[in-house]
């Protein structure tokens, strides 16, 4: 994509610095006054075409470059590492504290890096595309890469940093030993496309400085929809490198210095160290020595050629805006992903679990995100490129969200492919100093979607909660669900994830983001929440969770009762039929103390029932009866495929016999699927333990 060149004044000033030439020197060479050159530099004037040709001769470049100003004049300055010198006050950092905010885990890296890419989506009419590439280098491939990285210059710094006894030093020592013994190195490149790229100046406010130069600078410009807010997520890239080293190649969505492609820099995070008698504070940058007097000899980003980015394994597939981060010495500190295949699979799972909702699109709008994972060794494919498919990893959840996006939800489930929708109120507490007396807050209606779980779902009967760009924040298991409740999947959309706009949406988004810790994995009490919002903010979150539970119970058909005699879920699954019992409940008949139930692979219900019995002089004969609880009409009876005694009882001709004096009995039963009027997952099972004909034995 062609972009207009840089303005003449800033371009000329930078070229003079790069060539160590003063304005007076240039004026003399051109036969002009210093005032004329000063006017060009300050933007008050621009030279005529013949003067530009003369300027090109002075700079030893093509006149077309002076006219277009889309790149710098070649200065011959070599790339180098610039290490920050130690603090004059004697302070020392033995590692980057931000890197310890998260685990050095592939799933954490995938979550944070992908969230940052989503927050920087450039064209909102198209998805952000992220591509994770694992690449193991050995032999000559490794040697070529280390040479391009100037490893020999870095090695003394690593050796000294690894000689201390702090945590980071011990990890560095192990990484160096493994590199030498195995002669291999794993790179992880994280590419995003249709993202803004690292725009902005080298040292002042902007995306570039926030990522490359600063800590705890979020600098998100996504209209309040950003998933992150702490500025810590980028640290996961460095934490995932055994050497604390990340290289960056960015294609910009808006020109900087007249250019957009191949803005390259490297950053290294090491602990305090002394090399050749000089002390260094920690970080270092790989780039071109800056010629600006205010940052003399600091390594700044440079506009690399294609050969250089290939040698650094930073070449991008297209010229679309976005950024490539190369994690050098990538590893998974959790220990559950050791070889390339394990790392590949973990990345695919993590992307599917964290961002399945962002990958789902509807008729009116496509997905927000596409994700792929590739794995290579010395340039050869080890694991074929794999596109992350949300419908493979989370079929029921993906179907539920798509139904919502397409407007195909229902109020009440009547078949297994339907999606029920309900609204859940969230009261957003006013910000301190902005609310009125006794103002509880502004109501925002979050959206709850619920559908039957898929047969292959590993986890079910939970609510997946999200906001903003639809990254999974937390999973919530509703309380007090009947044990006979069908397995389900549910999605809670809050804030901008509801696909709505409005003041209440923006307020809810800010409120929930303030309630998230740096990991963005729950909505709960945080310092930001209690500092910014009026008293009662934490209570509003608890009420919100409670209302979510109520909405789930309503959608799965739970009936609220106020009777005593054990937990509500157990009462609904197991009832005692005592037609002659007095109105006032006493302990003159058996009562239910415990029930467990689940649907087995054959489709049958398997139940274990514990019954408490009163003292009696005669044995009890009881008849367990299984029924399906349907929406209307009587409860149809289903047959038992098996009925067996488990504790202090026996089964005779389908009845349960408990000897006199026994105070507790346990039995088990499995229903006969052939007698089920509907599939087990679509009805609750009710077990009635009735007195057998003839009463006691």
Q: Convert the pLDDT of each residue in 395-445 to its tens digit.
A: 999 999 999 999 999 998 888 889 999 999 999 999 987 766 566 789 999
- CA 295 vs CA 17, 48, 82, 286, 304: distances in Å: 11, 32, 11, 15, 20
CATH number at residue 18: 1.10.260.40
On whether residue 551 sits in a domain, the answer given is yes
pLDDT band (50, 70, 90) for residue 494:
very high
Query: Is the pLDDT score of 568 beyond 50?
Result: no
> DSSP label at 101?
G
If 0-12 CB within 10 Å is exposed, 13-18 middle and 19+ buried, where does residue 241 land? buried
* Spatial separation of the C-alpha atoms in residues 387 and 396, rounded to whole Å: 19
For residue 570, the model assigns a pLDDT of 40
Query: Is the pLDDT score of 453 beyond 60?
Result: yes
For residue 98, the model assigns a pLDDT of 52
**pLDDT by residue (tens digit) across 570-615?**
444 444 443 343 333 344 567 666 777 888 888 898 988 888 788 8
- CA 440 vs CA 506, 539, 633: distances in Å: 17, 11, 44
* Spatial separation of the C-alpha atoms in residues 613 and 197, rounded to whole Å: 71
For residue 66, the model assigns a pLDDT of 85
Q: Which residues contact 46 (CB under 8 A, 6 or more apart)?
A: 8, 40
The larger pLDDT score, comparing residue 69 to residue 368, is at 368
Is the same domain home to 242 and 158?
Answer: yes
On whether residue 259 sits in a domain, the answer given is yes
Is the same domain home to 449 and 398?
Answer: yes
* Spatial separation of the C-alpha atoms in residues 32 and 24, rounded to whole Å: 9
Helix (H) or strand (E) holding 203: none
On whether residue 324 sits in a domain, the answer given is yes
Query: Which residue blocks in 19-80 are alpha helix, DSSP H?
Result: 23-30, 34-41, 49-59, 63-68
**pLDDT by residue (tens digit) across 210-263?**
999 887 665 555 445 554 444 456 888 998 999 999 999 999 999 888 889 999
Least confident of 24-38, 82-96, 104-118, 574-588: 574-588
For residue 560, the model assigns a pLDDT of 36
On whether residue 563 sits in a domain, the answer given is no
Q: Which residues contact 338 (CB under 8 A, 6 or more apart)?
A: 332
The larger pLDDT score, comparing residue 374 to residue 692, is at 374
The domain boundary residue, chosen from 555, 582, 613: 555
Question: What range does the domain containing 86 cover?
Answer: 80-391
On whether residue 684 sits in a domain, the answer given is yes
For residue 545, the model assigns a pLDDT of 94
Query: Is the pLDDT score of 646 beyond 70?
Result: yes
Question: Which whole number is the average pLDDT over 298-324?
Answer: 94
On whether residue 697 sits in a domain, the answer given is no
- Do residues 70 and 57 make contact, with C-beta atoms less than 8 angstroms apart? no
Is the same domain home to 479 and 443?
Answer: yes
> DSSP label at 88?
T
- Do residues 228 and 220 make contact, with C-beta atoms less than 8 angstroms apart? yes
- Do residues 267 and 327 make contact, with C-beta atoms less than 8 angstroms apart? no
Question: Which whole number is the average pLDDT over 92-106?
Answer: 65
Q: 400: which 2 tokens?
A: 């539920």
The domain boundary residue, chosen from 26, 45, 68: 68
Is the same domain home to 609 and 579?
Answer: yes
Q: 87: which 2 tokens?
A: 């603090």
If 0-12 CB within 10 Å is exposed, 13-18 middle and 19+ buried, where does residue 643 land? middle
CATH number at residue 642: 2.60.40.3230
- CA 607 vs CA 604, 636, 666: distances in Å: 10, 18, 11
Query: Is the pLDDT score of 355 beyond 90?
Result: yes
Helix axes 49-59, 23-30, angle to 10 degrees: 110
Question: Which whole number is the average pLDDT over 164-185?
Answer: 90
Is the same domain home to 365 and 402?
Answer: no
If DSSP states are collapsed to H, E and C, what string results for 216-280? CCCCCCCCCCCCCCCCCCCHHHHHCEEEEEEEEEEECCCCECCECCCEEEEEEECCCEEECCEEE
- Do residues 493 and 479 make contact, with C-beta atoms less than 8 angstroms apart? no
Is the same domain home to 373 and 401?
Answer: no
Question: Which whole number is the average pLDDT over 324-342?
Answer: 89
pLDDT band (50, 70, 90) for residue 60:
confident
Tell me how far the alpha carbon of residue 35 is from its chain's centroid: 56
Question: Which whole number is the average pLDDT over 140-167?
Answer: 93
pTM of the model: 0.73
When the pLDDT of each residue in the chain is averaged and rounded to a whole number, the result is: 85
Top mean-pLDDT range of 240-254, 287-301, 650-664? 240-254
If 0-12 CB within 10 Å is exposed, 13-18 middle and 19+ buried, where does residue 166 land? middle
For residue 483, the model assigns a pLDDT of 64
On whether residue 74 sits in a domain, the answer given is no
The larger pLDDT score, comparing residue 357 to residue 678, is at 357
Question: Which whole number is the average pLDDT over 660-665?
Answer: 86
- CA 625 vs CA 22, 606, 662, 677: distances in Å: 98, 13, 22, 15
Is the same domain home to 142 and 283?
Answer: yes
Query: Is the pLDDT score of 96 beyond 60?
Result: yes
Q: How many domains does the chain have?
A: 4
The larger pLDDT score, comparing residue 681 to residue 331, is at 331
Q: 278: which 2 tokens?
A: 């000089």
On whether residue 406 sits in a domain, the answer given is yes
Sole residue written with tokens 């301190």:
432
Is the same domain home to 263 and 372?
Answer: yes
* Spatial separation of the C-alpha atoms in residues 323 and 312, rounded to whole Å: 14
- Choose among 455, 362, 370, 353: nearest CA to 401: 362
Question: Which whole number is the average pLDDT over 133-137?
Answer: 97
For residue 576, the model assigns a pLDDT of 42
Is the same domain home to 538 and 572?
Answer: no
Neighbours of 411 (CB within 10 A): 9
Is the same domain home to 62 and 89?
Answer: no
Is the same domain home to 374 and 406?
Answer: no
For residue 321, the model assigns a pLDDT of 97
For residue 101, the model assigns a pLDDT of 52
Is the same domain home to 333 and 184?
Answer: yes
Q: How would you label 123-149 residue by residue, b for 16+ Cβ within 10 Å and e otherwise?
A: eeeebbbbbbbbbbbeeebbeebbebb
> Please, which residues bridge with residue 465 across strands?
474, 492
3-state SS class at 567: coil
Sole residue written with tokens 């007249």:
258
**pLDDT by residue (tens digit) across 607-639?**
888 887 888 888 888 888 888 876 555 678 899
The domain boundary residue, chosen from 16, 40, 68: 68
For residue 100, the model assigns a pLDDT of 54
């Amino acid at each position: 994509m062609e972009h207009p060149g840089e303005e003449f004044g800033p371009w000329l000033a930078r070229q003079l610095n790069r060539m160590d030439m003063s304005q007076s020197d240039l004026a003399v060479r051109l036969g002009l006054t210093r005032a004329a050159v000063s006017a060009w530099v300050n933007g008050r004037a621009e030279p005529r075409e013949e003067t530009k040709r003369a300027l090109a001769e002075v700079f030893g470049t093509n006149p077309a470059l002076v006219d277009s100003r889309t790149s710098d004049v070649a200065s011959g300055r070599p790339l180098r590492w610039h290490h920050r010198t130690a603090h004059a006050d004697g302070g020392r950092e033995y590692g980057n504290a931000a890197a310890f905010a998260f685990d050095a885990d592939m799933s954490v890296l995938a979550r944070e890096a992908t969230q940052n890419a989503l927050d920087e989506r450039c064209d909102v009419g198209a998805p952000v595309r992220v591509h994770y590439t694992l690449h193991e280098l050995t032999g000559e491939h490794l040697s070529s890469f280390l040479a391009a990285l100037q490893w020999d210059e870095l090695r003394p710094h690593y050796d000294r940093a690894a000689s201390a006894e702090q945590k980071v030093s011990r990890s560095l020592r192990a990484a160096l030993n493994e590199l030498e013994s195995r002669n291999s190195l794993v790179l992880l490149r994280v590419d995003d496309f249709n993202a803004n790229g690292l725009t902005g100046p080298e040292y002042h406010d902007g995306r570039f400085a926030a990522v490359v130069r600063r800590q705890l600078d979020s600098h998100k410009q996504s209209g309040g929809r950003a998933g992150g807010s702490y500025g810590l997520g980028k640290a996961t890239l460095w934490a995932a490198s055994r050497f604390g080293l990340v290289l960056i190649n960015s294609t910009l969505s808006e020109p900087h210095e007249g250019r957009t492609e191949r803005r390259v820099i490297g950053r290294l995070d090491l602990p305090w160290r002394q090399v050749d008698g000089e002390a260094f504070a920690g970080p270092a940058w790989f780039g071109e020595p800056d010629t600006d007097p205010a940052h003399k000899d600091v390594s700044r980003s440079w506009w690399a050629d294609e050969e250089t980015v290939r040698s650094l394994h930073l070449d991008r597939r297209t010229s679309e805006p976005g950024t490539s981060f190369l994690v050098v010495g990538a590893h998974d500190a959790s220990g559950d992903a050791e070889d390339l295949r394990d790392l590949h699979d973990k990345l695919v799972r993590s992307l599917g679990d964290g961002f399945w909702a962002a990958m789902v699109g509807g008729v009116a709008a496509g997905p927000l995100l596409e994700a792929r994972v590739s794995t290579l060794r010395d340039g050869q494919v080890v694991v074929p490129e794999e596109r992350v498919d949300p419908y493979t990893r989370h079929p029921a959840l993906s179907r539920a969200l798509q139904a919502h996006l397409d407007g195909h939800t229902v109020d009440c489930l009547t078949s297994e492919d339907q999606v029920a929708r309900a609204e859940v109120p969230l009261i957003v507490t006013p910000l301190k100093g902005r609310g009125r007396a006794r103002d509880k807050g502004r109501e925002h209606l979050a959206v709850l979607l619920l559908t039957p779980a898929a047969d292959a779902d590993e986890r079910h009967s939970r609510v997946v909660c999200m906001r903003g760009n639809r990254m999974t924040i937390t999973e919530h298991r509703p309380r007090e669900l009947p044990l006979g409740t069908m397995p389900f999947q549910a999605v809670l959309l809050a804030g901008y994830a509801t696909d709505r706009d409005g003041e209440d949406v923006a307020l809810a988004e800010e409120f929930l983001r303030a309630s998230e810790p740096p990991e963005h994995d729950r909505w709960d009490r945080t310092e930001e929440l209690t500092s910014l919002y009026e008293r009662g903010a934490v209570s509003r979150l608890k009420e919100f969770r409670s209302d979510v539970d109520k909405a789930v119970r309503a959608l799965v058909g739970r009936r609220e009762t106020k009777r005593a005699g054990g937990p509500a879920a157990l009462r609904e699954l197991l009832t005692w039929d005592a037609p002659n019992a007095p109105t006032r409940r006493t302990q003159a008949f058996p009562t239910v103390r415990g029930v467990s139930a689940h649907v087995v692979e054959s489709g049958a219900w398997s139940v274990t029932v514990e019954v408490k019995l009163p003292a009696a002089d005669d044995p009890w004969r009881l008849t367990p009866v299984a029924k399906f609880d349907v929406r209307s009409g009587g409860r149809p009876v289903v047959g038992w495929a098996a009925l067996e005694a488990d504790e202090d009882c026996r089964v005779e001709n389908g009845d349960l016999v408990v000897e006199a004096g026994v105070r507790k009995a346990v039995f088990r039963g499995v229903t006969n699927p052939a007698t089920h009027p509907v599939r087990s997952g679509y009805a609750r099972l009710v077990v009635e333990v009735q007195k057998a004909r003839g009463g006691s034995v």
